[in-house]
Amino acid sequence: MTRLFEAKLLLPGLLVLATFFLFSSSAYAASFDLVLEGGRVIDPESGLDAVRNIGIKNGKIVKISRHELKAKRTVNVSGLVVSPGFIDLHAHGQNNIANDFQARDGVTTALELELGVYPVGKWYASRKNKAIINYGATVSHSISRALALHEVPPDHELDLFKDALAPDISRKELDDAALLRMTDILNQGVIDGGLGIGVGLAYVPGARRKEIFHLYQAAKSNSVPVFVHARVTSVVEPDSTSALQELIANSAATGAATHVCHIGSAGGVQVPTMLKMIDGARKNGVDISTEVYPYTAAHTFIGAAIFAGDWRKNIGMDYHDLQWTLSGERLTEDTFNKYRKEKSEGMVIAYFMPEHIVAAAISHPGVMIASDGGRWENNVGHPRGAGTFARVLGRYVREQKLLSLQDALAKMTILPALRLQSYTPMMLNKGRIKKGADADITVFDPLTIIDKASFEKPMQYSKGIHHVLVNGEFVVRDGESVRNTFPGKAIQNGK
Ligand SMILES: [Zn+2]
C-alpha cells in the first residue's frame, strides 16, 4: 500500500523530470552560434522585407523568425538592413588586400570570371584557407591560347601580361591544330573547377571569329558560360554593337551562355542599343546576361590592344581623357607614346562613359552590379575595387532614387547566384536569406551607406557597412575589419 502510494507520487515526478530534460535538450539543440536581432531583413528572391531575427549555426542560416531567439552571441541590428552578402562576378583583386576592401564594401564572394586564371587547380590551392571572402575563377582563354601557340613553356610561372597579352603573342592567330590544343587546355581548366571560360577578347586581337566559336563549343560541352570582354569598344564600324552580335550569335549557334562583362565600358554611348539587343536575345531564347560598374571611367593597361591604331577616333576619346594611375597625371601624345613603349603593363584610367549611360545601365532590369576592380598597384588603382556596391546603394538608390533598394540588392545577390547555380550547386545557398543558406550576410545602414573611394584617393573603405559575415564568421564587425580570420571558401564548377 505504502509502496504503491510512493510509486504513484514518483510517476508524476519522473514525468516532470523527463519533460524537463526533453525541453532543456531541445532548447540546447535549438540554440544558435549567433543571432542577428531586429534587423530589416531583405531577401530579393522571396521578396521578404520585414523585421526578423536570424539564427545562425555552423555557418548556415537555420532560423528566420519574428520571435526572440536564444544564442551564445546576439548582435542587435535594429535600424539596419540585413541583406544576403554581395556577389561580385568580376573581381580581378584576388588577394587579401583586395578582399579587405571588398568585404568593407559588403562583398562576401568575389570571382575572377573575365580574364580568368591558369592553371586553375593550382590557383584554387593557393587561396585555400587563406581567403577573407569566398573566391573562384574561370579558366583563362588568353593564357590557354598562348600555351596552345607554344609561346609559353608549360612549366614556366605564367604572367598574364607578359605571356598572353603582350602584342607579339596576342596578335598571333591559331591554326587548326592549335585550336584543338586550346580546347583541351580549356576543358581541363573547367574539370579542375573553373567557373566557365574567361575571355578578354579585346586584349587578344589575334583571336579570330572561328577561334571564339570553338571556345563556345568547348563551353557548351562543359555546360559552363563564357564570360567575355567583347572584341571592340568602338563608335566606328565594326563598332561595339557588332562585337555584341558576335557573342549573341555564338550563344545561339552553340547553346552556351554568354555573360557580357561591364556593358558600360563595352558600349559607351551605344549601351542603350546593346541593352535592347540583350533583352531581345533573351526573349528569343538566348542565355545572355550582363553587368555594370557604377563609374564613368574605365581602367586598363596602356599596352592593351585597344590603344592601337586609330583608337582616339574608335573609342571617341583623346590623350587627355587618359590618366596615368601611378602619378595621377593626364596624358599627352608624348607621355602616352612613352609609357606605352616603356611600361606597357602600367595602368591608365580612361574617362569616356557619359553619366546618363552608366545610370541607365545600373537601373536596367536584369543588369547585375559587378566591380571589375581590385588590382591595386602601389596603393593606387580604380576606386571601383573599394566602392562599387556602396556607391550603387548610396548614390543611385538613396540620393538619386534611380532604383529601389530591393531591386539594387537583387542585382548584387540573387541575380549573380542564378547565373552560376545551374553548374555550381554551392550557389543555390548563396545570394539568399533563407533557411539552409550559407550565412554570407551584409548588414548596412541604408541612410548612411556610401562609397568613399575616389579617383584621387581610391583605397578608401566604404561607409555604412556595419557587419559582414562570411560562412557565419564576422569579417567586418561594428564597421571595422576583423583581422586574421579566413572563412572564405572556394566556389568551383560542379561543387
Ligand atoms: Zn574588361
Distance 230 CA to ligand 1 centre (A): 8
Distance 90 CA to ligand 1 centre (A): 9
Is residue 385 included in any domain, yes or no? Answer: yes
Joined grid coordinates for residue 365:
532590369
Distance 96 CA to ligand 1 centre (A): 21
pLDDT of residue 150: 85
Does 102 share its domain with 10?
Answer: no
Joined grid coordinates for residue 55:
539564427
Distance 66 CA to ligand 1 centre (A): 44
- Summary mean pLDDT of the chain: 92
Does 156 share its domain with 248?
Answer: yes
pLDDT at 173 over 90: yes
Distance 133 CA to ligand 1 centre (A): 22
Distance 177 CA to ligand 1 centre (A): 28
pLDDT of residue 384: 96
Distance 201 CA to ligand 1 centre (A): 9
Does 152 share its domain with 11?
Answer: no
Contacts of residues 421-428 at CB distance under 8 Å and 24 or more positions apart, as own/partner, are: 422/223, 423/223, 423/224, 423/493, 423/494, 424/195, 424/491, 424/492, 424/493, 424/494, 424/495, 425/494, 425/495, 426/491, 426/492, 426/495, 427/491
Q: How confident is the model at residue 20 (pLDDT cuts 50, 70, 90)?
A: very low
Distance 36 CA to ligand 1 centre (A): 37
Does 21 share its domain with 100?
Answer: no
Distance 372 CA to ligand 1 centre (A): 7
Is residue 321 included in any domain, yes or no? Answer: no
Distance 193 CA to ligand 1 centre (A): 22
The rounded distance, in Å, linking the Cα atoms of 379 and 369 is 24
The rounded distance, in Å, linking the Cα atoms of 478 and 464 is 10
Last residue of a domain, one of 390, 412, 436: 436
Is residue 194 included in any domain, yes or no? Answer: yes
Hey, which residues does 109 pair with through a beta bridge?
87, 134
Q: What single-letter amino acid sits at 187? A: N
Distance 420 CA to ligand 1 centre (A): 19
Is residue 165 included in any domain, yes or no? Answer: yes
Does 243 share its domain with 126?
Answer: yes
Distance 293 CA to ligand 1 centre (A): 11
Q: How confident is the model at residue 155 (pLDDT cuts 50, 70, 90)?
A: low
**C-alpha distance from residue 236 to each of 156, 270, 271, 297 (Å):** 39, 11, 14, 20
pLDDT digits (tens, 9 = 90+) for 43-56: 999 999 999 999 99
Does 376 share its domain with 269?
Answer: yes
Does 18 share its domain with 119?
Answer: no
Average pLDDT over residues 7-27: 47
- Residue that wins the pLDDT comparison between 450 and 7: 450
Is residue 36 included in any domain, yes or no? Answer: no
Distance 92 CA to ligand 1 centre (A): 10
CB 226 within 8 A of CB 215: yes
Does 18 share its domain with 137?
Answer: no
Distance 417 CA to ligand 1 centre (A): 21
Last residue of a domain, one of 436, 465, 482: 436
H helices of 64-119, where? 96-103
Average pLDDT over residues 221-245: 95
Is residue 102 included in any domain, yes or no? Answer: yes
pLDDT of residue 27: 45
Average pLDDT over residues 56-64: 98
Is residue 170 included in any domain, yes or no? Answer: yes
Does 159 share its domain with 275?
Answer: yes
Distance 261 CA to ligand 1 centre (A): 6
pLDDT digits (tens, 9 = 90+) for 178-214: 999 999 999 999 999 999 999 999 999 999 999 999 9
Find the radius of gyration of the CA atoms of the chain. Answer: 25
Distance 482 CA to ligand 1 centre (A): 31
| Selection from 315, 416, 302 nearest residue 367 by Cα | 416
Question: What's the domain range around 175?
Answer: 87-296+353-436
Q: How do beta strands 226-229 and 197-200 pair? A: parallel
Distance 27 CA to ligand 1 centre (A): 52
Is residue 379 included in any domain, yes or no? Answer: yes
What is the number of structural domains in the chain? 2
Q: How do beta strands 48-57 and 60-65 pair? A: antiparallel
pLDDT at 95 over 90: yes
pLDDT at 156 over 80: no
Distance 473 CA to ligand 1 centre (A): 32
pLDDT digits (tens, 9 = 90+) for 294-347: 999 998 899 988 898 899 998 889 999 999 988 889 999 999 999 999 998 899
Does 13 share its domain with 94?
Answer: no
